[in-house]
Amino acid sequence: MTEHQNGTGQQSSAAPAIELRGISKAFGPVQANKDISISVQPGTIHGIIGENGAGKSTLMSILYGFYKADEGQVFINGQETQIPDSQAAIRAGIGMVFQHFKLVENFSVLENVILGVEEGALLRPSLAKARKELKALAEEYELRVDPDALIEDLGVGKQQRVEILKALYRQADILILDEPTGVLTPAEADHLFRILDGLRAQGKTIILITHKLREIMEYTDTVSVMRRGQMTDTVKTKDTSPEKLAELMVGRKVLLSVDKVPAKPGENVLEIENLRVIDDQGVERVKGIDLNVRAGEILGIAGVSGNGQSELMEVLGGYAQATGSVRLKGQELDLTGKKSDARSRRERGIAHVPEDRQSRGLIMEFPAWQNMIFGYHNDPEIQKNALLMDNSKMVEITQDKMDRFDVRPPHPHLAAKSFSGGNQQKIIVAREIERNPDLLIVGQPTRGVDIGAIEFIHKQIVALRDQGKAILLVSVELEEILSLSDRIAVMFDGHIMGERMPADTNEQELGLLMAGENGSGENGGQA
Amino acid sequence: MDFLTIIQILDSALRMATPLLLACLAGLISERSGIFDIGLEGKILVSAFFSAAVASLTGSVWLGLLAGVTVSVVFSLVHGMASITFRGNQLISGVALNFLASGLTVLVGETWFGLGGRTPTLEGAERFNPITLPFADALRDVPILGPIYSTLLSGHTLLVYVALLLVPTVWYVLYRTRFGLRMRAVGENPAAVDTAGISVIRLRYTAMVIAGVLCGLAGIYLATGLSSGFGKEMSAGRGFIALAALIFAKWKPVPALGATLLFGLLQAIAIRYPKIDLGFITLPSQFMEALPYILTVIILAGFIGKAIPPKAGGQPYVKER
Amino acid sequence: MDKMPKWADVALIPFLNLTLAFAISMAVIAAIGQDPFEAVKLMVTGALGSSYGWGYTLYYATNFIFTGLAVSIAFQAALFNIGGEGQAVLGGLGVALVCLYIPFPHWTVAILFAMLGGALFGALWAAIPAYLQAKRGSHVVITTIMFNFIAASLLNYVLVNLLRPKGSMDPASARFPETTNLPTFHDLLSPFGIAFSKSAPVNVSFIVAVVACIVVYLLLFRSRIGYEIRSFGQSQSASVYAGISPVKITMIAMLLSGGLAGMMSINNTMGESERLILNSVEGAGFIGIAVALMGRNHPFGVFLAALLFGFLYQGGGELALWLSIPRELVLVIQGLVILFTGALDNMIRMPVERAFIRAAKRAEARDAKQKEA
């Protein structure tokens, strides 16, 4: 473990705002945190970076009293402090903004703010006090929200402000933010960091949990790196580089680019015209887009999550309805009728790696062999006769695929939930790619997947492209989009903001497009 | 149908509605805190039995009340244990408790009294007797308002008035107090409550106790107010009708009063007119019996507005990783 | 990374759950002043000590197999069908209409049609709650409860006003014709020289029930529709991704469920009472819930659980006869079984899982030490 540097110069004499010593935490057989020590100087922004599943959120949840550590000590401003529950954390001056907001949707902003810190048994005085204080906070920190608005009517950016207000109203001196920009546009994110800067200027201590190197490099004073439940290093941000951090995160040099030969695009396989999707709540999520994907080409769709990409995939995958026109190899797809379901899509030659493997792509309780045919269970090849399926044939097929796709452990009878994220994803990829589809839709292929599996999955996708298949890739990771795509389209607010070739663009330009800024004046997909 | 008949039917409707209202408010507290409760029926049954049994054995309806409330709260806490502590299926737990109530009441009743599951008939101080409101007799002859006051409003047992007073009370607690705010929050998003430093478990158990008390009152009224003694299976589906009323009322206290009064009215009409001749068709008594259930299905089908239950209802709270 | 071995999940936990439920039941018997061990002895001899006892035990078990399978199929699709009772009531009506109004040459033909009639009516009664769940999102639990009450009123009306023979005061249908009467085990076994109690009601329906277990097993675990039902039950969002229609599966699972519950009536209505009576289902629809939970929604588990409940039901009857313990004791046991196997499962599971994890960790540490050495 590295010796800690003393925050930023002028505070060097003060006791650390937070110091953790030897924190360990296991969930059943899984060791989420292992002997972690860290110290954070007051009045700084301290980043904690690591891959998904590295144990960052668990560590911070322990600090917030949400989980109890198995071992270790917590010191706040030099005092050893017990944090058995969130109440204790709040008393110790710690506030937390979770990745998934903890707000009551049908309550007003005020009601959410006072929840848990009401003044006395009746609500009226508490509400009045909170209203006054929110006004003051709004002016001090650019944190404006209508106190009487219902949470469900606010956008995510505003909801996040409510979470920050909640913490400040509880007089938090230490603010923990868990992946705060995952749901924000770059502009909203910039606004957030302006707020955080202001808070730091007031002497508040901020812990920023993220997996985005850019945020760490731009906004933090110090950074700690976590890998597989352990703290690998803590360094001053200005003394490190993205490359060094990336290496610390994954444990070895990462190949950020994918080895591939230039694409040789052929005929159009997928042609989308004026596609519109309206969700269950009646909100238009895809607002008339035009797209095409050619054979032997990977089209990457970039965008902040929640800008219509999911809905686009749902339509193509056959579990959402839409208007407009979608043609596959020149033939119209049914968008609303009997043939708009997922089974018909598969029969037409569309394979689909879904964004959320645990709630869509797999039945977690089923063994691997029953997952390997999921969605393709009507195939003649696995039927014994008109009534029964051929279980032993399915096991056999699964064993073969597991071997070839290096799924570990290669046991067809093991339940899906018993595999790691990367191996779960390999099961899905094996199932979908091996169908030899005309079009493969891939959503967030490497979310929560370890680095080894990422490379493997990327290679498989590129190999399928080289066989002349069309691939539509949706990812919120710009790096993945840039390194894998042959052509990039950016989605914002249900529109295609523009198309770029990876060689002619960069993260900055794409980031602008993702924020809805149409720099070049090109009239993207906006109808 | 003359005016007095209408008053009499409404009077009977109020009596029939009272146990439904009490149980409905119990369900409201429970479900607003995020715990589904299809065990209302069983709680009504056990509290009815134990209140009648203890009242009969001790000669005091108040001790009966205490016994009824206690048993109902115990049942509620078992449901809480299954739903909150052990994160079991709340529907299954409710079903189990209903069976347990059906069995236990007869088993204990037969052992104690040997009357085939009945308790002896309650008399005098063993039951809640009608209360005559002030001036009820004097005002009886005033046209229109007289009968409304003297027959419809006066002359009910204590628990009827308690039930009616509970409606504004529950409303006030739910919408104007800290406890109400937290309870509504825990039924919508327990994680918000947890991260705000409030114990989800304690809140929900508290709700369970309150629901147990209220549901206990429903059973007690049934055995010691509406009837004079316990009879096998005397809850007769009231717990389920209360549940239906709760859905009808969209989990709100004031509409709950309206819904239970409506179902009470249906029952009152069915008692007074076993067969209803509508001219072109005669509705058989069995139809009138089934009408509350049929109505509930129609309501559930969403033909009369969509009922959206509390969001966290039925889901055990587990801290997400 | 499984928390515990499969055998613990399939056998140990249910065993501990049941032990707890029965221990409390025994305590209840003791609390009402009876000797629990005497009671158990009496139940065993009464239910299993003679072919008469067995005949009743298996007769009740037949009912519970059908209703247990019914609840299980719905559970496999994550639907809680509490309406087995009402569906069985309607099934009885279906069976009665078939037996009363179609002239049959022989019981072998009659039973086929009766099965069809019972299943059809039971399925019909499940169809409305199923449709409302599938299309309008009305919770099937509440609607099926309501349909139980409606079924009771409907049957009452039909018996009193329509099926009751002229001059009879009894709310029951006329007797079914002789040719529809099903052979009992006595009838079936005596040609082979095996003596079986003449008065015990167990009949050929038991064999149908056993066959139903096998068919449901094949359906759930070997057929495509079963695969779809189980997928849907585990994850609705994943099922939609796989092209499995929620509406279709909800309807199919509930229709199968209602059909099985309705089919129960070949046993009680056609096989035993040989006419349609008011209370013929006697709560078997509800016992199906306990049976399904205890049998872990697996047809073979259901079979075993149904036998156990058949035993409890017959044994409970004996208790009422000899020890003045009311039959309702069975309701208490039923409630406790549902509570412990269904709702309080985690009470046993959590400590057992922890024990297994501890044991695994210890074994790991030991292995590590051995490696070092």
The answer to whether residues C260 and C122 touch, using CB atoms and an 8 Å cutoff, is yes
Partners of A230 in the β-ladder:
A227
pLDDT of residue A524: 40
Give CA–CA dist A63/A511, Å, rounded: 33
Band of pLDDT at residue A67, cut at 50, 70 and 90: confident
**Nearest-CA distance C221 → chain A (Å):** 9
- Based on its alpha-carbon atoms, the radius of gyration of chain C, rounded to whole angstroms, reads 23
How big, in percent rounded to 5, are the helix, strand and coil portions of chain C? 75, 0, 20
Candidate from B88, B92, B286 with C-beta closest to C156: B286
> Among A30-34, A97-101, C146-150, C327-331, where is mean pLDDT lowest?
A30-34
How many residues are listed for chain C in this entry? Answer: 373
Over residues C132-152, mean pLDDT: 90
The answer to whether residues C95 and C268 touch, using CB atoms and an 8 Å cutoff, is no
**Nearest-CA distance C253 → chain B (Å):** 19
C91, burial (CB in 10 Å: exposed 0-12, middle 13-18, buried 19+): buried
Q: Chain B residues with CB inside 8 Å of A102's CB? A: 189, 191-192, 194-196
Rounded (5°) CA angle A367-A369-A373: 120
Which residue numbers in chain B have pLDDT < 50? 321
Band of pLDDT at residue A92, cut at 50, 70 and 90: very high
Band of pLDDT at residue C305, cut at 50, 70 and 90: very high
pLDDT of residue A8: 42
Any idea where the domains of chain C sit in the sequence? 59-310
> Please, what are the domains in chain B?
3-300 (1.10.3470)
Q: Chain A residues with CB inside 8 Å of C353's CB? A: 28
Q: Residue C13 is encoded by which pair of tokens?
A: 């936990």
DSSP-derived secondary structure letter, A175: E
Candidate from C146, C325, C328 with C-beta closest to B296: C146
Band of pLDDT at residue C274, cut at 50, 70 and 90: very high
DSSP-derived secondary structure letter, A177: E
Tens digit of each residue's pLDDT (9 = 90 or more) over C156-183:
999 998 999 988 888 899 999 999 999 9
Q: Is residue A190 scored above 90 in pLDDT?
A: no
pLDDT of residue C137: 80
Q: How many CB pairs under 8 A join B and C?
A: 150
Candidate from B180, B188, B199 with C-beta closest to A105: B188
Considering Cα of A198, then A202, then A207, then A213, what sign does the dihedral take? positive
pLDDT of residue A513: 84
pLDDT of residue B85: 94
Chains that touch A (3 or more CB pairs under 8 A): B, C
Give CA–CA dist C270/C117, Å, rounded: 12
Percent of chain C with pLDDT over 70: 99
Q: Chain A residues with CB inside 8 Å of B186's CB? A: none
The answer to whether residues A398 and A412 touch, using CB atoms and an 8 Å cutoff, is yes
Cα dihedral A56, A59, A64, A67, rounded to 10, equals 120
Q: Residue C222 is encoded by which pair of tokens?
A: 């070997």
Q: Residue A350 is encoded by which pair of tokens?
A: 């569309």
Give CA–CA dist C268/C255, Å, rounded: 21
Helix (H) or strand (E) holding A438: none
Question: Considering chain A, what is the average pLDDT of its residues?
Answer: 88
Question: Considering chain B, what is the average pLDDT of its residues?
Answer: 91
One-letter amino acid of C240: V
Q: Is residue A287 scored above 70 in pLDDT?
A: yes
- Residue among C59, C311, C317 at smallest CA distance from C184: C59
Tens digit of each residue's pLDDT (9 = 90 or more) over C67-78:
999 999 999 999
| Helical spans, DSSP H, in A443-506 | 451-466, 478-484
**Nearest-CA distance C237 → chain A (Å):** 6
Give CA–CA dist B213/B47, Å, rounded: 10
> Which residues 6+ apart lie within 8 Å of B192 measured at CB?
A102, A103, A104, A112, A115, B185
Question: Considering chain C, what is the average pLDDT of its residues?
Answer: 93
One-letter amino acid of A511: G
pLDDT of residue B150: 83
Q: Chain B residues with CB inside 8 Å of A117's CB? A: 196
Give CA–CA dist A3/A37, Å, rounded: 10
The answer to whether residues A21 and A251 touch, using CB atoms and an 8 Å cutoff, is no
Q: Is residue A5 scored above 50 in pLDDT?
A: no
pLDDT of residue B203: 96
Tens digit of each residue's pLDDT (9 = 90 or more) over A323-357:
999 999 999 999 998 899 999 999 999 999 999 88
> Which residues 6+ apart lie within 8 Å of A404 measured at CB?
A430
Q: Is residue C321 scored above 90 in pLDDT?
A: no
Look-up of token digits 């809905």: A311
Tens digit of each residue's pLDDT (9 = 90 or more) over A292-318:
999 999 999 998 777 899 999 999 999
Give CA–CA dist A241/A218, Å, rounded: 11
> Please, what are the domains in chain A?
1-93+173-250 (3.40.50.300), 105-172 (no CATH), 268-514 (3.40.50.300)
Contact A341 C238 (CB under 8 A): no
Candidate from C223, C234, C243 with C-beta closest to A318: C243
At residue A415, the 3 state secondary structure works out as strand
- Residue among B1, B21, B301 at smallest CA distance from B160: B21
Contact C344 B93 (CB under 8 A): yes
Q: Chain A residues with CB inside 8 Å of B177's CB? A: 121-123
Neighbour count for residue C201 (Cβ, 10 Å): 21
Q: Is residue A7 scored above 80 in pLDDT?
A: no
pLDDT of residue C3: 67
One-letter amino acid of A345: R
The answer to whether residues C9 and C352 touch, using CB atoms and an 8 Å cutoff, is no
Determine which of A52, A94, A98, A104 to mutate to test the interface with B (most B C-beta atoms within 10 Å): A104
Tens digit of each residue's pLDDT (9 = 90 or more) over A214-231:
888 889 999 999 888 889
Give CA–CA dist C302/C331, Å, rounded: 18
Tens digit of each residue's pLDDT (9 = 90 or more) over A95-134:
999 988 999 999 999 999 999 999 999 999 999 999 999 9
pLDDT of residue C71: 97
Find, in chain A, the residue whose alpha carbon is nearest to that of C245. A341
Q: Chain B residues with CB inside 8 Å of A100's CB? A: 191, 320
Band of pLDDT at residue A155, cut at 50, 70 and 90: confident
Of A5-9, A37-41, B309-313, the range with the highest mean pLDDT is A37-41
Neighbour count for residue A364 (Cβ, 10 Å): 18
Band of pLDDT at residue A500, cut at 50, 70 and 90: very high
The CATH class, in words, for C59-310 is mainly alpha
Band of pLDDT at residue A243, cut at 50, 70 and 90: confident
Q: Is A255 on the interface with B (CB under 8 A)?
A: no
Helix (H) or strand (E) holding A160: helix A156-169
pLDDT of residue C230: 97
**Nearest-CA distance B233 → chain C (Å):** 11
pLDDT of residue A252: 55
Residues of chain C in Cβ contact (below 8 Å) with chain A: 1-3, 218, 222-224, 227-228, 230-231, 234-235, 237-238, 240-245, 353, 357, 360-361
Q: Is residue A246 scored above 90 in pLDDT?
A: no
